[in-house]
Structure 1
Amino acid sequence: MRVFLIVWFGQLVSLIGSGLTNFALGVWVYQRTGSVTQFSLILLFGLLPSIVVSPIAGAIVDRWNRRWCMILSDSGAGITTVAIALLLAIGNLQIWHIYLAVSLSSVCKAFQLPAYTASTSLLVPKEDLPRASGMVQSAQACAQLISPLLAGVLLGIVQLKGIILIDFATFLFALTTLLLVRFPDAKTAAVPVNGKASLWRSALEGWTYIAVRPGLLALLIVFAINNFVFGLIEVLFPPLVLSFTSVTVLGTIQSLGGAGMLLGGVVMSIWGGPRILIRGVFGFVFLSQLCILAFGLRTSAALFALANFLFFFCLPFVNGYFNTILLRKVAPEIQGRVFATLQMIAFSCIPLAYVVAGPLADRIFEPLMATNGLLAGSIGQIIGVGTGRGIGLLFITMEILAILVTVAAYRYPRLRLMESELPDVI
C-alpha cells in the first residue's frame, strides 16, 4: 500500500492542478467569445480524442511498463500546458490553440487512465482493492470540489498565467512521485511480429474479452445508458436550476454535489464495501437514478441540493465497486485493453448526450410543458408548467427508462451471479 499511497497522492495533486487550468481556460474562452457553443467545445475536445484512441492505448499499456506509461502520459499533458503558457506569454494564444491542447491532453489521458487503474491490482492486496478504488474516487471528488473554488480565487490574484504555472508544478510533482517508486513486474502481452494490423487485433482483444462474458457485457450496457443520462444532466442541469432560482444558488447546489462525492469516496475508503460487490453497484445505481428523477418533480432548491448531494455521494461507490470487480476478474496482462475498451464504450455515450440534449429540450419537451403546451393540462398539473418544466419531464422520462433497464439487467442471472461464476485472477 505504501507505493500505491505515494502514486495516489501525486495523482491527486496533479488532478487538482489540471482542474485549475480547465476551469480557468473555460472562463478565458467564454469571456473573450461570449459563446456557449465555443465553451462547450472544450468539453467535447477534452473527451472525444480519448474515446477514439482508447482501444490502441489499452493495447499499448498492456505491452509496456505501466509506470512508464503513466510517466510519459503525464509528461505529454505537462508539455501541452507549457505550450499554452508560452503562447499566452507572447500574447498569441488563440481559441484553436486551446482546442488543440485540450485534445492532446485527452489523448494522454487515454493512456494514463488504463495504466493507473490496471496498476492498482499490482500494488494493492486483493482484500484492500475496494478501499483503494474508494481512494481513487475520493481524489477525483476532491479535485472537483477544490479546483473551481481555488481557480476562482487565483484568477483574480495570479491570473491565467499563474494558474498554468501552478498546473505545471503539479505535473512535476506527480512525475517525481512516479520516478521515486517501482511497480511490481506484471506479465505483459506478447508483441507480435506483424506491424499495425497486429496492434489493431490486440486492441480488439479487450472487446472480445468482454463480449464472451455476458455478465460483464450486461454491466457495460447499464453503465453506458447511465452515462448517457449523466451527459444530459451535465448540459441541462444549470438551465433547469436557473429557471427557478439564482446563479448563487446554482453554485451552492453544485458545490454540495462535490462535497457529496468527496464524502462518498471517504466512506468507501474506510468501509470497503459489501461482500457481494455487484449488489452495492446496483443499490447505489438505483439510488442515484431516484435522485435524478427527483430533479424533474419539483422546482425546489432544497430538494435539488439534497438530491444532488446524494447523487454524487453514490458515484464513488458505483465506479469504485465496478473497478474492483474488474480488477479481481480480469487477468492483469489484459487489464489495460479491457479498461480502455470499457472507457471507450461507456464514455462515447456522453458526447452523444451533449449533441441531443439541446434539441430534445428546446424542440420537444419544453414546448410540451409550456403554459399552453400539449401536456400542460395533464402532466403539467403534477410537475408544473413553464420554463424548465420540459427539462424536468425529460429527466423523468429518461430515468424511468434507465430504471427499467437497470431492473431488467439485475434479473439477468449472468450479471447477478457474475462474482461467483467468474473466477478471481488474484
Structure 2
Amino acid sequence: MSNIQIMEKSRLTVLREMRLFLIVWVGQLIAIIGTTTTGFALDVWVYNRTGSVTQFALVSLFNTLPYVLISPIAGPLVDKWDRRKTMIIADLLACLGTIAIGVLFVMGRLEVWHIYLANTFTAVFMAFHSPAYTASTVLLVPQQYLTRANGLMSLMYGISIIIAPTLGGFLLSILQLPGIILLHITNVLIAVVSLMLVRFPQVNTSDVATDRGSFVNETTYGFKYLTSRPGLLGLVLFSASSFYLVGGINVITIPLVLNYASVGVLGTIMSLFGIALLAGGLLMSIWGGLERKIYAICGCMLLNGVFLFVAGLQPSLIVFTVSIFLFSLTQPIISSSTLAAIQSKVEPSVQGRIFALKGAIEAAALPLGQITIGALAEKVFEPLMATDGYLAGSIGQIIGVGSGRGMGLLLMMMGVLSILGTSIAYLYPRLRFVEDELPNINDAVTSQACHPLNPDLKLSA
C-alpha cells in the first residue's frame, strides 16, 4: 500500500470517528454565523441611532456580564441535564430575544435599551449552551482527536469573525435588519436539526457530581475542584491571561493603527487578524497539536510575549501588523490545547461546571483587559511618551516619542510580563507535570462511548 493510500485511509478513519462531532459542528457553525452577523447589524444600528461610543460599548457589556454572573449557576445544571437537549433548548430560547427585536423594529418601536435587554436574555441561555457544547466534545470524539475537535471549534469562531462584518454589511443594504434576523433564526433552526440527528451517550455520573449538597456547594464545586488540582487551575488561568492580552490588544489596535493609516487600512488589518485566527484553528484541526499540551501552551505564551514586545518596539505599521498577526495565529493553539488537556483530566460528569467556570473567567478577562490596558494607554503611557513627556529623554530616544509611542511602550511591557509570567509558571511542578500527575479520566469513556461501532452513539432514527 502506497504512502498516499495510507494517508487517505488515515484521513477517512479520522472523519469516520469524528463524524458525529462534525454533524454538530457544522450546525453550530451555521448558527454562529447567523448570530455574529445579527450582532454586527445591531451594533451598526445602535451606533447610527445614537452616535455614542459609550452606548455602543454597552452592547458588549450586556453580552458579557450576564454570562459571567449566570455561568456558576449554569454549570451544575448542565452536569445534571441531558447536554444535547440543553443545547437545543438554549438555542431556541436564545432566539426569542432576537425575534422580539425584529418585531419591535417592524412596528417602529425599537429602542436601544431593547437591544440591551435582548442581549442580556441571550447571554443567559448562552451561559448554558457554551459549557454543554464544550463538555459534550469528549462524548463525541475519541481522546486522540480532542485537540483536532477543539481546533475546529476555534476555526468556527475564526470563520464567523471574518464572515460576519462582510456579510452583515452586504445584507443590511439588501434585506435590512428584519431580513438578517429572519436569516439568523433559520440558521439556528438548522443547528437544532443537526443536534436532533445525533444521540449523545449518557454520562456516567460520579459520586461527587450526584452529591446533593446546598445550592452554594453546587455552584462553588467547580472552583473547589480546580483549587484542589492546581495544575488544572493553572491551565485555566493561562487561558484567561491570553484573553486578557487579546482584550488589551483590541483596545490598542484601533487608535494605534489610525496614527499611521486610514480607516480602510484599519479594516483590512482587522480582517487579517481574523484570518490568523482562522488559520490557527485550521492548523490545529489538521495537525492535532503536540502530544504534551503544556509544551504547546507555554511555548505559545512565550512567543506571544516576543510578538507583543516586537509589535511595540518601533513606530512601524508593518511590524505591528505582522507581530499581532502571529500573536493571533497562536490563540487557537493555546485554547485548543488547554481544552484538550482539561477534557482528558476532568470527569465528564462534572465538565459542565468546570467549563462554565472557565468560560466565566475568560469572559471577564477580555473586558478587564480592554478597560485596564485602555486606561493605562490613555492616562499613563501616552503622556509619558509625549514629545515633552517624562520618558521622552530616556526610553523615547530608543523607541521614539509622540502619538502612539506610549501604546508601543505598553505593548513592550505586556510582552515582557508575558514572558516572565510564563517562565515562572512553567517552573511550578504542578502545572508542568499536570499531564503526568493526573490520570486520563476519559480513557475508558472515550474508548467505549466514542467508538464508531458503539450502538449507544449513533444517528437518530
Shorter chain as normaliser: what TM range?
A: over 0.9
- Corresponding residue for 2:36? 19
Pair 1:308-2:306 in alignment: no
Cα distance in 2, alignment partners of residues 251 and 294 from structure 1 = 22
Give the 5 Å matches for 1:19-418. Answer: 19-188=36-205, 198-418=214-434
The 1:222/1:181 distance shift into structure 2, 3 A limit, reads closer
Cα distance in 1, alignment partners of residues 306 and 123 from structure 2 = 32
Shift of 1:95: 0.6
Does the 8 Å CA contact 2:155/2:278 hold for their aligned counterparts?
yes
The amino acid of 1:36's aligned partner reads V
> Which structure 1 segments of 5+ residues have no match?
none
Cα distance in 1, alignment partners of residues 275 and 306 from structure 2 = 19
The amino acid of 2:254's aligned partner reads P
Does the 8 Å CA contact 2:301/2:418 hold for their aligned counterparts?
no
Q: Deviations over 1:82-126 (max 9, x none)?
A: 111101110111111111111111111111110000000001011
Shift of 1:238: 0.7
- Corresponding residue for 2:12? none
Cα distance in 2, alignment partners of residues 58 and 101 from structure 1 = 22
Q: Which moved more, 1:382-391 or 1:202-211?
A: 382-391
Does the 8 Å CA contact 1:49/1:106 hold for their aligned counterparts?
yes
Shift of 1:43: 1.3
The 1:414/1:293 distance shift into structure 2, 3 A limit, reads same
The amino acid of 1:114's aligned partner reads P
- Corresponding residue for 1:423? 439
Larger Cα-atom Rg: 2
Cα distance in 1, alignment partners of residues 211 and 202 from structure 2 = 20
Aligned residues: 423
Cα distance in 2, alignment partners of residues 137 and 358 from structure 1 = 26
SS of the residue corresponding to residue 131 of structure 1 reads helix
Shift of 1:260: 1.1
Cα distance in 1, alignment partners of residues 379 and 182 from structure 2 = 44
Cα distance in 1, alignment partners of residues 215 and 25 from structure 2 = 30
The 1:361/1:253 distance shift into structure 2, 3 A limit, reads same
Does the 8 Å CA contact 2:67/2:363 hold for their aligned counterparts?
no
Does the 8 Å CA contact 1:226/1:402 hold for their aligned counterparts?
no
> Which structure 2 segments of 5+ residues have no match?
1-17, 443-461
Does the 8 Å CA contact 1:10/1:174 hold for their aligned counterparts?
yes
Does the 8 Å CA contact 2:43/2:56 hold for their aligned counterparts?
yes
Moved over 6 A (4+): none
SS of the residue corresponding to residue 222 of structure 2 reads helix
Cα distance in 2, alignment partners of residues 111 and 53 from structure 1 = 8
**Given the two structures, how large is their TM-score scaled by the length of structure 2?**
0.89
Cα distance in 2, alignment partners of residues 327 and 232 from structure 1 = 28
Does the 8 Å CA contact 1:256/1:308 hold for their aligned counterparts?
no
Cα distance in 2, alignment partners of residues 391 and 207 from structure 1 = 35
Cα distance in 1, alignment partners of residues 158 and 200 from structure 2 = 26
The 1:324/1:349 distance shift into structure 2, 3 A limit, reads same
Cα distance in 1, alignment partners of residues 382 and 166 from structure 2 = 32
Cα distance in 1, alignment partners of residues 418 and 172 from structure 2 = 40
Q: Which moved more, 1:8-17 or 1:178-187?
A: 178-187
Q: Deviations over 1:257-314 (max 9, x none)?
A: 1111111111111110112111011112222232222321223222233223212211
Cα distance in 2, alignment partners of residues 118 and 12 from structure 1 = 17
The amino acid of 1:71's aligned partner reads I
The amino acid of 1:287's aligned partner reads L
Cα distance in 2, alignment partners of residues 374 and 150 from structure 1 = 46
Q: Deviations over 1:46-105 (max 9, x none)?
A: 111101111111110000000011011111211111111101110111111111111111
- Percent sequence identity over aligned pairs: 48
Cα distance in 1, alignment partners of residues 126 and 94 from structure 2 = 8
Does the 8 Å CA contact 2:242/2:331 hold for their aligned counterparts?
no
Cα distance in 1, alignment partners of residues 281 and 211 from structure 2 = 40
